[in-house]
Every structure is written in structure tokens, then in C-alpha cells.
């Protein structure tokens, strides 16, 4: 059931402008609530995954509470299906900005270099002369007041943030513009031609189906859904009650581990309802490949350890450093390069049509797109060129700046495909762009200033538990549900990005000046802020050139991925999907491989015994597991805010 038809044309009505207003209000609310939770309540983290659980929670509340109340007052006030989708897309991208997405990393790192400089670490002599002054906050009372709290009766000194935040805002705007335009370009290829599953959107799309003309959509009348919801809600509540009352039995006190190869292999066995639900919606070949390749990776890593095979590279934060871990990080990056290249080759006809459409737009084609091809291609080009120019202007050699931007987008696209095709609701790369730059080019080629600029790439491409391309891809998929008014999704997403950034920056600064940022969160304002300077200092004291071994391992990963991709496309009987090999070294897979194993096993049995109809009916149970895990986390977060409880976290992966 779609939107109500237009009275004159019979076509579905596009969403009205009120959807943008409501989306902006909710985006601003998220920009306030998420930092407040992360800094003060420290409860369940609804913004620590690119599947954006906070947006799911808001949609649940709106459909179950707000929309029925609006309908009660006046029938026309309730949001239609199209308007609900626009609002949901906006809240998804808004969730990707505060705290882990951008704001927490940005404020901590651009302020921490001067604040944590001391005679002992010698950053004043080693690091600060090479960091562009406009890129970081300079030492001042205003900076110290942020980290330590402003004394009563004194102004905070917010003005010290204006120059660096303006410079970084330009870069982030270019990044987000390029990401959104790229997803607009790939929308038709991924949604209509390749028909990717987008498992993360199954639940919200089912929730809004049939929303017009009813107090509650049909989704909320499914007993099977509520059964799954009850299981996840009960398990999460038991975890929360244990945090309130330690005598209450903890269901997951110890995580079992599988040991092998003289204890060199240690595999966690953890079953999470949210990950289990998403995994059940994935093609069985994909779900099988994800857990199979992870176990294979762990075993091979153990064998390498026993045999003494090593690669002792120091790749910086969020890229592995150790005896054997860098080997597999390089292989994963090589696999990502081949994966993206194969995807672009598969989409070559569509991309050629996009370029033709950008040169000679067809009004009929434009009407059905999220944004016109000409605008999308131009926006992508402007975004990529601005990012490269920004890095070069800051001091990175031009060729390396272009290469780093290219590798960053290879990583973003690979992780996004893992989510929209593989249902991996949370995923990070085994190597981030900084690790690539240090290994591929070395500190000597970067130069001291280029090294400093690359170290600060951790602001926008470091942790990557939350990155913007994934919610933008889901927003593009949401736009496919709207025969008319897709441009409103594009406009709404841009507005939500800007609103969430501005509001979350103000909120985080206000919290810092009131409470002292260093007292609020040890990662954002103690650990992460020191990463860039530590990397710069270490590399300047021990400079190194490019790693030939790193290039070799990257090439090996690319070769293996090429063979797996060839087998995947040419051999119908081939059981392994190359995506599993690509993401297997990610540390997140250690937490989510077991849900994929269980989902693959259960789904295979259901399909074999009951067929496709039994599988479709069973999906409602897993929809409930997904929604129940998110809602129980949000429910107890509200309880924590009312009671003053802290550190009560229900894990979402």
C-alpha cells in the first residue's frame, strides 16, 4: 500500500514540506540527546553503529505514539508513508554526526594536541611546528576551560574554536556532498539492477507499510513480530536490571571462547538478537561466507603465529599493529580495491548512462532520480576535488592527497556494500587511510607537515564505527520508495547533516565548558585526542619509507579477491561470496560471526523444510528481535535519564 493518490492525476502524492520540518526538529533533538547520553548518562549507545539504531527508535515511537495522537486530533495531521520515510532518512544521517560519527572525534583531536602537550612528550618541539595553525585550536585559556571546565563567573572562550571548526566544516561538507552524490548516482544500479537486499531497511519499510488510514500499521498487528520483540526486550531488560541490582542474575556474565592451535586462536561465541535478526534476512550464501571466512582467517592467523610469519609494521591508530595482524589488514585493503573495481565494472553501463545524462540531461530520466545526474556528477566532482585540494593546501603532497581520498572512498564503498548487501549492521575496516598512507608512501614521502595532516585524517576516517556513506545509501534506497518527491529526500538529508553538525558542536562545547570535557569521557577527550600527536612524534623520531612487504601483502589480497570474484560470477555452484573474505579481518567480526552462523543454519533448515513461504512468515519473528533489541536499549536509556543511573549499557552488537 503506497501513499494516497492525488485527486486530479491519480498518482501518489509527494511528501509535504512538513516532513522536512519534523525531520529537522528530530535531527536537532538527536544532536542534543546523543551527546548528552554519551557524556553524562553513559547509557546504551544508539549512535555507535552505522545502522543508526537511534533512528529506528524514533520511528517506533512516532508510529506507536505520535501518529495515533495526531490522527486523534485531526486525521490529516498524521504523517503519510512517504513523509515517514523522509523523516526516517533524515534521522538516519543525523545520527551519523554527533559523538562517534564526527563531533566527538573532531573536538577532541583538534583541541587535544595543544592541551596534552608537555615537556615530557616534547610535542611543542616535535609536533606543533608541523601542524597548520588553522587546523587545531591554539593554546589559550579558552582551550583549557573546555577540557577542565570554565570557572564560575568567567566566559568560556568559545571563540578559540571558530577558525579550526570553519576549516574542518569545509572539508566535512565536501566529504558529505561527495558521499551523497555518489549514492544518488549508484541508487538505480544497486536498487533496480543488482537488487541488493538492504536488510537493515526491511524493518522500517515494513513498519510504515499501510500507515495511511489506520491507527496502527499492520506491522504492529503481527503476533510473531511481538513474540520476537518480547524475547529481545526480556533479555535486554534482564541485563539492565542486573546493572541496577547486582544480585539479579547476569545472563551474559562470561562470553564463551573457542580455543585452538595451542591457544593461538581464541574465538568469542556471542549471540546478539539485533545481529541475529539482520543476519537472517541475508542470502544464505552470503551469511555462510561471512562466518566461514572469519573462522578461516582466525585459523590462518594462528598458523602464521606458530610458523613465525610476521609483518612488524606500525600503522597508527585503528589499523592493526602486531606480529601478524598487519598482514591480513593489507590483504583486506587489497580485497577492497578489487571489490570496488569489480563493482564499477559491473555497473559500467549504468555509469556510462549517468555520464551521458549529465552531459545531455533527459528530463524524463531526471524526474525519477533522487537528484539529477548532472547535479550528482557535478557534486561528486566538486566534493572530491575540494577534499584533495584541502589536504594539499594543508601540506600533503598532491599525488598522495588524491590517493588517500581515493582509498578512503574505496573503504567507504566496501563497508557500505557489506551493510546493504551482507546485512553486516556494524563493520569497520581492517586498515584506515592513515595506515595505508604510512605503509604505502612512508613518512619521508609525506614530509613532516604531510604526516601531520595524515595523522589528523583520523577525524574523518579513523574509528569508522559510524560513517556517513551507509545512512546515505539507505536514504537513497528510501528515495526509491517514493515515485514522486525524491528530491525532498536529497534536500532533507543535506539539511539534517548541517543541522546535526551545528547543534551537536554547540552542545558538546557547552558540556565541555560546564563540566570539563576531560571529566566527561575518557576516550573522546583523553585517549583519542592524543592519537594524532603520538603518531606524528613516533614517525618523526623513527622515519621510514614505503613498506615493500605491505605492498606485497596488499597485492596478494587483491589476487585472492580477484579469483574469488571470478568464481562468484562464473561458477553457479561456487558456495563462497568474496565479501566474506574482504571483511574477515575486521575486529567487529569477532562479535558478530556467531549470529551469522546461527542465522545461516536456521534459515537453511526453514527453507529446506517449509520452503519460501515458511521463510517469509518466519521473518516477522526476526523483525521483532531487531526492533526489540533497539527499543529495549532506548527504553532503559529513558529510565536511566529519569533515575540518574549511569553506565547502564545494553549491547547492540
Asked whether the predicted pLDDT for residue 521 surpasses 70, the reply is yes
Residue 351 burial (10 A CB sphere; 0-12, 13-18, 19+): middle
Who's near 569: CB < 8 A, 6+ residues apart?
none
Strand partners, 268: 257
**SS3 (DSSP) at 369:** coil
Return the residue matching grid coordinates 592467523. 301
Of the candidates 37, 33, 43, 44, the one whose C-alpha atom is nearest the C-alpha of residue 91 is: 33
CB 164 within 8 A of CB 110: yes
Q: Reply yes or no on whether the pLDDT at 261 is more than 90.
A: no
Q: How far apart are the first and last CA of the chain?
A: 33
CA separation for the pair 595, 232 (Å, rounded) = 14
Paired strand residues for 265: 260
Largest pairwise CA distance in the chain: 75
**pLDDT at residue 438, as a whole number:** 96
Residue 432 C-beta-side C-alpha neighbours within 13 Å: 25
Distance of CA 612 to the CA centre of its chain: 32
Contact status, residue 184 vs residue 371, Cβ threshold 8 Å: yes
Residue 139 is predicted with a pLDDT of 93
Mean pLDDT, range 314-323, rounded to an integer: 88
Q: Does 65 score more than 80 pLDDT?
A: yes
Point out the least confidently predicted range of 201-215, 527-541, 598-612: 201-215
User: Do 175 and 460 contact (CB within 8 A), yes or no?
Assistant: yes
Question: Mean pLDDT across the stretch 498-525?
Answer: 96
* Residues pairing with 259 in the sheet: 266
Cβ neighbours for 359, distance < 8 A, ≥ 6 positions apart: 374
Alpha-helix runs per DSSP H in 308-372: 325-346, 348-359, 363-367
- 484: left (phi > 0), else alpha (psi -120 to 50), else beta? beta
- What is the tens place of the pLDDT at every residue in 198-244? 999 999 999 999 877 677 899 999 999 999 999 999 999 999 999 99
Query: Tell me: the pLDDT tens digits for 319-362?
Result: 988 789 999 999 999 999 999 999 999 999 999 988 887 766 55
Coil, strand, or helix at residue 27? helix
3-state helix, strand, coil in the chain (%, to 5): 70, 0, 30
Q: How many CA atoms lie within 13 A of 350 on its CB side?
A: 17
**What is the model's pLDDT at position 215?**
79
Place of cell 613498506: 547
What's the pLDDT score for residue 7? 38
Q: How far apart are CA 408 and CA 432, in angstroms?
A: 8
pLDDT of 36 > 50? The answer is: yes
Average pLDDT on 291-310 reads 93
Is pLDDT above 90 for 146?
Answer: yes
Q: Is residue 647 within 8 Å of 243, Cβ to Cβ?
A: yes
Q: What is the pTM of this model?
A: 0.95
Cα–Cα dist 57/51, whole Å: 12
Say which range, 149-163, 415-429, 595-609, has the weakest mean pLDDT. 149-163
Residue with cell 540527546: 33
Kindly report the average pLDDT of the chain as a whole number. 92
Confidence category of residue 254, pLDDT binned at 50, 70, 90: low
Indicate if the pLDDT at residue 68 is higher than 60: yes
State residue 321's pLDDT score.
Answer: 82
Instruction: Say what the pLDDT of residue 216 is.
Output: 86
Which range (95-99, 269-273, 453-457) has the least confidence?
269-273
pLDDT at 252: 62
Closest CA to 293 of 575, 570, 562: 575
- Over residues 532-561, the mean pLDDT reads 95
Q: Count Cβ atoms within 10 A of the Cβ of residue 502 and give its class: 0-12 exposed, 13-18 middle, 19 or more buried.
A: middle
What is the per-residue burial (b if ≥16 Cβ within 10 Å, else e) of 137-155? beeeebbbbbbbbbeeeee
Answer whether 183's CB lies under 8 Å from 473's CB.
yes
Q: Which of 568, 563, 179, 593 is nearest to 409 (CA)?
A: 179
C-alpha cell at 542: 623513527
Nearest to 339 by CA among 584, 67, 113: 584
Alpha-helix runs per DSSP H in 193-308: 202-208, 223-244, 273-280, 284-307
Which of 167-181, 305-319, 528-542 is predicted with the least confidence, judged by mean pLDDT? 305-319
Calpha distance 429→469 (Å, rounded): 14
Query: Does the pLDDT value for residue 477 go beyond 90?
Result: yes
Residue 64 half-sphere exposure, CB side, CA atoms within 13 Å? 12
pLDDT band at 13 (very low <50, low <70, confident <90, very high): low
Residues 601-624: what's their mean pLDDT?
Answer: 96
d(CA 274, CA 347): 32
Low-confidence winner among 284-298, 356-370, 496-510 (lowest mean pLDDT): 356-370
Q: How confident is the model at residue 558 (pLDDT cuts 50, 70, 90)?
A: very high
Q: Which residue has the cell 578489487?
A: 338
pLDDT at 514 over 80: yes
The pLDDT value recorded for residue 377 is 92
What pLDDT shows up at residue 580? 97
Place of cell 528530463: 363
Quick one: DSSP state of residue 14?
P
Average pLDDT over residues 436-459: 96
Question: Where do we find the cell 546485512?
Answer: 423
Distances (CA, A) of 289 to 292, 365, 462, 486, 577: 5, 37, 27, 35, 6
Q: Does position 12 have pLDDT exceeding 70, yes or no?
A: no
Q: What is the pLDDT of residue 369?
A: 53
Amino acid at each position: 500500500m503506497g501513499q494516497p493518490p492525488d485527486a486530479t492525476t491519480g498518482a501518489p502524492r509527494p511528501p509535504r514540506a512538513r516532513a522536512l520540518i519534523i525531520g529537522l526538529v528530530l535531527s536537532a533533538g538527536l544532536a542534543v540527546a546523543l551527546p548528552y547520553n554519551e557524556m553524562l548518562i553513559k547509557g546504551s549507545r544508539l549512535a555507535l553503529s552505522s545502522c543508526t539504531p537511534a533512528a529506528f527508535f524514533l520511528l517506533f515511537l512516532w508510529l506507536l505514539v505520535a501518529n495515533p495522537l495526531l490522527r486523534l486530533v485531526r486525521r490529516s495531521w498524521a504523517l503519510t508513508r512517504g513523509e515517514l520515510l523522509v523523516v526516517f532518512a533524515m534521522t538516519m544521517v543525523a545520527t551519523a554526526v554527533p559523538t562517534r560519527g564526527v563531533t566527538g572525534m573532531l573536538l577532541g583531536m583538534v583541541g587535544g594536541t595543544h592541551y596534552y602537550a608537555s615537556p615530557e612528550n616534547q610535542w611543542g618541539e616535535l609536533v606543533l611546528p608541523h601542524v597548520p595553525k588553522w587546523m587545531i585550536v591554539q593554546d589559550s585559556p579558552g582551550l583549557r576551560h573546555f577540557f577542565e571546565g570554565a570557572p564560575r563567573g568567567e566566559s568560556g572562550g568559545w571563540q578559540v574554536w571558530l577558525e579550526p571548526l570553519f576549516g574542518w566544516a569545509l572539508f566535512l561538507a565536501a566529504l558529505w556532498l561527495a558521499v551523497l552524490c555518489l549514492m544518488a548516482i549508484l541508487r538505480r544500479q544497486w536498487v533496480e539492477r543488482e537488487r541488493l537486499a538492504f536488510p537493515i531497511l526491511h524493518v522500517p519499510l515494513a513498519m510504515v507499510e499501510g500507515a495511511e488510514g489506520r491507527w496502527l500499521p499492520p506491522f504492529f498487528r503481527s503476533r510473531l513480530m511481538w513474540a520476537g520483540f518480547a524475547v529481545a526486550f526480556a533479555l535486554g531488560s534482564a541485563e539492565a536490571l542486573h546493572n541496577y541490582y547486582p544480585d539479579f542474575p547476569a545472563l551474559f556474565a562470561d562470553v564463551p571462547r573457542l580455543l585452538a592451535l595451542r591457544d593461538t586462536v581464541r574465538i568469542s561465541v556471542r549471540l546478539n538478537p539485533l545481529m541475529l535478526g539482520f543476519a537472517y534476512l541475508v542470502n544464505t550464501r552470503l551469511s555462510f561466507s561471512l562466518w566461514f571466512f572469519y573462522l578461516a582467517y582466525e585459523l590462518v592467523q594462528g598458523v602464521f603465529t606458530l610458523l613465525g610469519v610476521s609483518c612488524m609494521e606500525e600503522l597508527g591508530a585503528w589499523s592493526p599493529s602486531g606480529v601478524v595482524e598487519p598482514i591480513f589488514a593489507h590483504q583486506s585493503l587489497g580485497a577492497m580495491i578489487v571489490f570496488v573495481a569489480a563493482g564499477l565494472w559491473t555497473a559500467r553501463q549504468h555509469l556510462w548512462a549517468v555520464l551521458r545524462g549529465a552531459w545531455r540531461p533527459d528530463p524524463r530520466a531526471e524526474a525519477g532520480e533522487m537528484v539529477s545526474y548532472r547535479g550528482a556528477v557535478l557534486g561528486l566532482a566538486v566534493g572530491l576535488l575540494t577534499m584533495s585540494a584541502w589536504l594539499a593546501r594543508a601540506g600533503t603532497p598532491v599525488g598522495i592527497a588524491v590517493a588517500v581520498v581515493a582509498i578512503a572512498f574505496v573503504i567507504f564503498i566496501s563497508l557500505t556494500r557489506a551493510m546493504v548487501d551482507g546485512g553486516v549492521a556494524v563493520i569497520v575496516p581492517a586498515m584506515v587511510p592513515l595506515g595505508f598512507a604510512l605503509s604505502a608512501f612512508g613518512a619521508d614521502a609525506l614530509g613532516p607537515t604531510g604526516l601531520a595532516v595524515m595523522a589528523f585524517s583520523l577525524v574523518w576516517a579513523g574509528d569508522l564505527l559510524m560513517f556517513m556513506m551507509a545512512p546515505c545509501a539507505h536514504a537513497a534506497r528510501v528515495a526509491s520508495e517514493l515515485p514522486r518527491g525524491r528530491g525532498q529526500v536529497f534536500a532533507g538529508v543535506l539539511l539534517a547533516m548541517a543541522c546535526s553538525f551545528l547543534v551537536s558542536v554547540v552542545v558538546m562545547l557547552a558540556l565541555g565548558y560546564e563540566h570539563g570535557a576531560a571529566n566527561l569521557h575518557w576516550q573522546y577527550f583523553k585517549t583519542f585526542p592524543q592519537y594524532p600527536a603520538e603518531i606524528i612524534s613516533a614517525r618523526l623520531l623513527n622515519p621510514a619509507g614505503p613498506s615493500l612487504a605491505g605492498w606485497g601483502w596488499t597485492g596478494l589480497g587483491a589476487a585472492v579477491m580477484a579469483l574469488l570474484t571470478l568464481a562468484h560470477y562464473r561458477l553457479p555452484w561456487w558456495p563462497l561470496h568474496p565479501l566474506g573474505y574482504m571483511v574477515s579481518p575486521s575486529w567487529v567480526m569477532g562479535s558478530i560471526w556467531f549470529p551469522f552462523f546461527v542465522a545461516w543454519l536456521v534459515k537453511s533448515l526453514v527453507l529446506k523444510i517449509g520452503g519460501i513461504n515458511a521463510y517469509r512468515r518466519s521473518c516477522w519473528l526476526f523483525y521483532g528481535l531487531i526492533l526489540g533489541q533497539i527499543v529495549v536499549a532506548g527504553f532503559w536509556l529513558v529510565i536511566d535519564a529519569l533515575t540518574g543511573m549511569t553506565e547502564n549499557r545494553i549491547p547492540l552488537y
